[in-house]
Structure 1
Amino acid sequence: MTNIVIGSGPAGRLGSYELGKLGKDVILIEKNHIAGTCLNEGCMVICALSDISKFIDSNRRFNEFGFVKSQISVSYDKIVEKITETQEFLRKLNQIENESVGNKIIYGEAKINENNVEVNGESLEYDKLLLATGARPHIPYVKGSKYGLTNKDILKIDNLPEKLNIVGGGIIACELANIFSTLGSEVNVIARSEFLKEIDPDFKKYILKYIIPQVNILEHTDISECGKNKVVLSNGDELEGIPFFATGRIPNSEIAQGFVDINPDNTIKVDEFMKTSRDNVYAAGDVTGGWQLTPVARMEGICAARNMAGYLNKISYNSIPQCISLNNEYSFVENEKIKDVKTETITLPSIAGPNSFWKILTGDTGLAKIEFDSENNKIKKINSISPSSVSDVAYLSYLMRIDSPLDEYSNFLEIHPSSDTNYKIIKNLWL
């Protein structure tokens, strides 16, 4: 019998690929483009734009030092053209990868029934079903909200906005503010509560001072109306600029309403094996809520696929690393299993390494903080801003997940030069 996967984002694409590798007959159904939000509207678009903003930031620094004399003119329509061209290339690769294990891919909008899926007028029977339909941007109800852009519209903007009003105070709002302010837009961030309220206060201060100092942050502020090129604040003040909503995401769970159990927040309810309330129906990725991160969606898709194929397994969500993609990357992770213990904290500037040398004279090489349980010799929490923080924190989070004691870090040999401040703290100060 056939396994059907609906949705080809990170969860569905990796889940279908895993099923194919395990020798199962698979049909992957995708409504729009293969690879989902990540490649087409989300992470990869942000990464592409961040690469450009980092280059512009470095060029500005080198000009200020006087050993580079150059001026940069940004062509946003050319940026969009090349991102789109790259996306088309990667879509082909993703399709070839899935088809290489014998999977069939159908493009169309699916509807699910008791034992079959309807797509493009055809009824397909399934033995097991995986729902990986992802999520979409949440647009708050305010007058004129139709004028507000979201991450789905980044590649639809004709020209670089002269002024941009980003509504929202989380990670996406911060990343967009960093990108567009570096590209030359005048940016306001309007946060209903606090900006970056979930991160360490010391790192919020660093980001505001060294990474996005030119961005105007309005905290505890709401909007009452949007126009095509303005927002009206709840106090009546008007701000010129395109409105851009970065106000969270909502699950694409409508396909499953009345078919499987749904959580109060409209995410699909699953157990630890990614199984829904129906024995032969599974769900994975953003549509199930939880961690809205591509690597987690991949893990969930693979986990669901293995369980569908009869190889029981489940995921540990402890010590999930995260990142805010900025001109100087900020990464962080916490070991949630360490609770109610006395911890010690060490904080110091990041040490110059790859892409940090030319930041020494301006004092913005980065920042690192590690909180640890000295009694049990375990790391509790890591925060790091440095060009290598993404790989550093990912590596350290793995050691946290396998419950490695701090002594094990002494066996690690870094490649010089390295800005792995977290590792240097662990190796040189306590062992």
Structure 2
Amino acid sequence: MPSFDCDLFVIGAGSAGVRAARMAAQRGAHVVVAEAAALGGTCVNVGCVPKKLYSYASHFADDFADAAGFGWEVPAPRFNWPTLKKNRATEITRLNGIYRNLLTGSGATIVSGWAQFVDAHTVQVQSSEGVETFRARNILIATGGTPVMPKLPGCELAVSSDSMFDLDPFPRRLLVVGGGYIACEFASIFNGLGAQVTQLYRGEQVLRGFDEDVRGFIAQEVRKHGVDLRVNSDVKSLSTTSGGISAALIDGTVLEVDTVLYATGRAPNVASLGLEAAGVRQREDGAVIVNSHYETNVPHIHAVGDVTARVQLTPVALAEAMVVVDRLFGKGEKAMGYEFIPTAVFTHPNIATVGYSESEACKRYGKVTVFRSEFKSLKHTLSGSTERTLMKMIVDDATDRVVGMHMVGSDAGEIIQGFAVAMKAGATKAVFDSTIGIHPTAAEEFVTMRDAWVTPQALVD
């Protein structure tokens, strides 16, 4: 039998990599994890966590304005961008330390540097201190994704989402290009922080893949909040001017801005991994191909998370990592289900959804019944804000099962998370109807919905 330096070598110490390394080590495996950047990966350092912190910061502008309707006399607030950046950096450094302690406390070994395959069992890690070589019984690829930048004249003037947290100075005029999660969230965040934000999307409507009602409703709401959202629009070229950056659009108009953010997608982070040396197959977009057990075509090499370009959400990557650990060092009983995965978009207002959109549900189930409610929340009856809330529920006619829930409104993610448990358990509309609501809350609307319409046959077809 060949000798190995470790039972599991993990490439990448992001959310999935740390979870797999820690849990495997706790089960007695000898684990080595390599990371070339800060521990925690995209989510902790330049993704979910700092983005949510900045989202909180940006909401205060609305809170100050809303307070007047409740009798509070708030002096004109001033926003200090350097303070936010400093406090965020301190918190992220704290989290980096927690991740390090979780790994070392479990018995895993951390190697700082870029890992590259030499062959199917051998990995080299190159760092400032030299090159270390490891032979591993099993290898897990968990290197996540990386922003895709445009190829157009002046593209070097644009920045990716990774750079948005430490911009200097604060961009008073921001152009956001893209219509997905990241683009929509940063447009709302910087608008709330005081920037003049223009968002361009080349398609008909932002947030492709979401329910059509949600897409139209959020576009309406972010415009009300001050984002200049333009669909069917794109950038032709970028150039520098004495006043900043000039963006020439495809319709002939020109925008002068301070910063251009391109958030038009992410690609698997596989550059220089040496996957060909290990014989690992990839898709054309670079994604590592895996089966239902997250095995590549080389059975002892696994891959999870964004590097496989499946469902690019941190909690999904964590769950996939646990399946691999259980398969390699446990009973092999865990499985990952991709139906009814809840998700949220931290725009202003927030979006949260679980299950199928109306069109998806029609294709899958045939006839469905749709319950929809739109209203001004109780808070805004005094705040003076024109912000509205949308709630939508989709029910399979044949089984009465709730198969889709969608919300645009304050704390949408917190609300939908709880209902996602009920949907995963197979709750029917009758169960929702028999549940007593908490009054007065927005969430109670989901258990009191009565007005419905049956999907037209045209949508079913």
Q: Is the TM-score greater than 0.5?
A: yes
Question: Could you report, residue by residue, the CA deviation over 1:221-275 in whole angstroms, capped at 9, with x for unpaired residues?
Answer: 2212123522111243221112110100011123153130101221000000111
- In structure 2, distance between residues paired with 1:341 and 1:19: 44
2:214 to 203, 207, 213: 203
1:224 aligns with 2:229: no
- In structure 1, distance between residues paired with 2:382 and 2:329: 51
Q: CA deviation at 1:30?
A: 0.6
Q: Any residues of structure 2 matched to 1:77-96 within 5 Å, and which?
A: 77-96=82-101
Of stretches 387-396 and 289-298 in structure 1, the one that deviates more from structure 2 is 387-396
Q: CA deviation at 1:82?
A: 0.7
1:169 to 179, 183, 191: 179
Structure 1 residue runs without a partner (length 5+): none
Q: CA deviation at 1:145?
A: 0.9
**Which AA in structure 1 matches 2:403?**
K
- Preserved CA contact (<8 Å) 1:373 1:379: yes
Q: Any residues of structure 2 matched to 1:16-415 within 5 Å, and which?
A: 16-63=21-68, 67-114=72-119, 115-120=121-126, 121-196=131-206, 197-213=208-224, 214-228=226-240, 229-241=245-257, 242-254=259-271, 255-258=273-276, 259=278, 260-312=280-332, 313-335=334-356, 339-349=364-374, 352=377, 356=379, 362=385, 364-409=387-432
- In structure 2, distance between residues paired with 1:364 and 1:3: 51
| Secondary structure in structure 2 of the residue aligned to 1:179 | helix
| Secondary structure in structure 2 of the residue aligned to 1:19 | helix
Q: 1:162 to 1:47 in 2, by over 3 A?
A: same
- Preserved CA contact (<8 Å) 2:438 2:444: no
Q: 1:69 to 1:27 in 2, by over 3 A?
A: same
- Preserved CA contact (<8 Å) 1:166 1:246: yes
- In structure 1, distance between residues paired with 2:383 and 2:67: 13
**Which AA in structure 1 matches 2:269?**
N
| Secondary structure in structure 1 of the residue aligned to 2:404 | strand
- Preserved CA contact (<8 Å) 1:350 1:421: no
| Secondary structure in structure 1 of the residue aligned to 2:393 | strand
Question: Could you report, residue by residue, the CA deviation over 1:107-145 in whole angstroms, capped at 9, with x for unpaired residues?
Answer: 111111222211131111111100000111000201111
- In structure 1, distance between residues paired with 2:366 and 2:320: 31
Q: CA deviation at 1:164?
A: 0.7
- In structure 2, distance between residues paired with 1:257 and 1:101: 28
Question: Could you report, residue by residue, the CA deviation over 1:16-41 in whole angstroms, capped at 9, with x for unpaired residues?
Answer: 12212222111111110011001111
- Preserved CA contact (<8 Å) 1:2 1:127: yes
| Secondary structure in structure 1 of the residue aligned to 2:287 | coil
| Secondary structure in structure 1 of the residue aligned to 2:391 | strand
Q: CA deviation at 1:310?
A: 4.7
- In structure 2, distance between residues paired with 1:369 and 1:162: 36
- In structure 2, distance between residues paired with 1:223 and 1:351: 36
| Secondary structure in structure 2 of the residue aligned to 1:89 | helix
Question: Could you report, residue by residue, the CA deviation over 1:325-366 in whole angstroms, capped at 9, with x for unpaired residues?
Answer: 02332101224788232111111135847xx46667545351
1:13 aligns with 2:25: no
**Which AA in structure 2 matches 1:198?**
G
- In structure 1, distance between residues paired with 2:407 and 2:196: 28
Of stretches 248-257 and 124-133 in structure 1, the one that deviates more from structure 2 is 248-257
Q: 1:422 to 1:269 in 2, by over 3 A?
A: farther
- Preserved CA contact (<8 Å) 1:195 1:217: no
**Which AA in structure 2 matches 1:244?**
L
- Preserved CA contact (<8 Å) 2:391 2:446: no
Q: CA RMSD in A?
A: 2.3
Question: Could you report, residue by residue, the CA deviation over 1:63-115 in whole angstroms, capped at 9, with x for unpaired residues?
Answer: 36663232111111211111001000111011111222111111111111222
- In structure 2, distance between residues paired with 1:57 and 1:29: 43
- In structure 2, distance between residues paired with 1:275 and 1:359: 56
- In structure 1, distance between residues paired with 2:382 and 2:264: 33
Q: CA deviation at 1:190?
A: 1.2
Q: 1:358 to 1:352 in 2, by over 3 A?
A: same
Structure 2 residue runs without a partner (length 5+): 1-5, 453-461
Of stretches 359-368 and 10-19 in structure 1, the one that deviates more from structure 2 is 359-368
Of stretches 145-154 and 57-66 in structure 1, the one that deviates more from structure 2 is 57-66
- Preserved CA contact (<8 Å) 2:66 2:384: no
Q: CA deviation at 1:150?
A: 1.0
- In structure 2, distance between residues paired with 1:307 and 1:337: 33
**Which AA in structure 1 matches 2:202?**
R
Q: 1:64 to 1:422 in 2, by over 3 A?
A: closer
- Preserved CA contact (<8 Å) 2:124 2:132: yes
- In structure 1, distance between residues paired with 2:211 and 2:371: 14
Of stretches 118-127 and 132-141 in structure 1, the one that deviates more from structure 2 is 118-127
Q: 1:351 to 1:362 in 2, by over 3 A?
A: closer
- In structure 2, distance between residues paired with 1:298 and 1:358: 41
Q: 1:87 to 1:194 in 2, by over 3 A?
A: same
Q: CA deviation at 1:155?
A: 2.2
Of stretches 53-62 and 410-419 in structure 1, the one that deviates more from structure 2 is 410-419
- In structure 1, distance between residues paired with 2:78 and 2:175: 23
Q: CA deviation at 1:416?
A: 5.1
Q: 1:99 to 1:211 in 2, by over 3 A?
A: same
